[in-house]
A and B are shown apart, each in its own frame.
Chain A
């Protein structure tokens, strides 16, 4: 679904360090409306740092250079943080940390509605994700899959142009993860929302993403359309990731067919 217009998001020359250690070096990519980009990399590759910097959170990494252009607005990442760019919504990694355990779900949802000034839009978003009306339930009374879907709903409530998903499946079992991501994909396509997901799972990225960017030790070693990355990995690390992407599944075709 490549758009002809200028990209929704373009990131150029992002470098950052934590202390004296460089964690990201000259990272950049572009993302168009409605596209899905997966940033794939192992632990410590700099995925979380990248994500936090795009969200305008400087701690704990300090960006030394970089330029972000989102939806026509420029953000110089080396300057003091200007907060989260308007139109980007964030879906936390795990429902276990995504909800305040002491607050009822409805309270948390209504607080978000107040913050965003979106009192009217709530019902449709819940409907779109197949969620019931929020009763007096506490977070733990819902299943993980429903909690994760509600986290997505909370992000969508903002009516964003782009969703950022942090390790969307690491807290879920594979089936639920696939269901949640399918929902996200469907809603994103309906509403023309770009999705950037950060994951260590290349198989998952291959299934859902149009574009794949492979991050290795702070460098973006390969970016490109998903098929191209899978069929023609550009370096040893990418090749290894591609080769071992199905290490959990005995029969990769069964997953691909889903």
Chain B
């Protein structure tokens, strides 16, 4: 694999030439499941407001990568640095648990593939959206409720569903509620694991539209894991193609999709059904 990597661009040169610092700097990270490789030798930088897609087949290590950069899985090698709004760097691998969890509920968001993993199913939509605000110290019921209403509106869920539990929502609504719940604290970086995974095609399209809208308007940086190249093309600025735990190709999303260099990427691109 190492000989292959050298033939194709697998690291990314920063596209931002201003003095701004990258939001997330991932250097040579690896995670091993015993002797098995989860992912290895992955490096990239993510800039504020940028959407990075990690694509690859199942078992290629994309979820492992997402979990290590979001601090949910221990790092075997390498380093991850996150810079907060004040420019303060955080070494994610060695961050104390408390600071990590604080990041996860303030500056970060995590959208799970299955809304059930990211929502409290027995708590009303308003409570789900308000949870982060309350965790950050908001103690005014009216304010929390208004934020809930506003976010339901923004993710196109009727306001009168505010007091219903997510259990009574459709799959697409649950996923939109999960997004609202994550975005309410105005995070700077959102991790998404197959956000459109379990949804049917028309709902997927609507959700993608909404996501694109929110990401552009809020200037969110997003790390998006998907096996669906269409999702990557629609949302992502740049992409990493993973295969057997390694990044085989990286670059601007359109560039990679229109002119794939690595044989695996070519296979991936050619396997999209053409209408």
A binds B: no
Using a CB–CB distance below 8 Å, which chain B residues touch chain A? none
